[in-house]
Amino acid sequence: MNNNVCELCIENKDDFNYQVADTGVCGQCIQMNECMDLDLIGTYRSHNISDSDIWAHLPRLRHAHTEISFHLTDKQINRLIERFKNEKPPAN
């Protein structure tokens, strides 16, 4: 299952944010492009992780399908989120 949606296929162009996009194969047009995994980014944001921290510290796609192919499970993502939160407590 490829949740990636590229800058051309995304329904609402305003949702596309290059800071949290990465190169991958789009799940809709099957082209290599800058893609977002909206569910994944939504999960990060629900943990109050800023877009700049996502960019700097966390994978932006669960499925790369590029020459650097990787597939991250939700369990792996949750572990990365926990690790990130332990290493970097929210500033307030």
User: Residues interacting with Zn ion, by CB under 5 A?
Assistant: 6, 9, 26, 28-29
Nearest Cα residue to 60 out of 42, 48, 47? 42
Q: What contacts 70, CB < 8 A, 6 or more positions away?
A: 59, 63, 64
Q: Which one, 9 or 80, has the nearer CB to Zn ion?
A: 9
Q: Which one, 13 or 75, has the nearer CB to Zn ion?
A: 13
CB of 75 to Zn ion, least distance (A): 27
CB of 49 to Zn ion, least distance (A): 25
3-state helix, strand, coil split of the chain in percent (to 5) is 40, 15, 45
With H, G, I as helix, E, B as strand and everything else as coil, classify residue 38.
helix
Q: Which one, 2 or 49, has the nearer CB to Zn ion?
A: 2
Cβ-proximal residue to Zn ion, closest one = 26
CB of 24 to Zn ion, least distance (A): 10
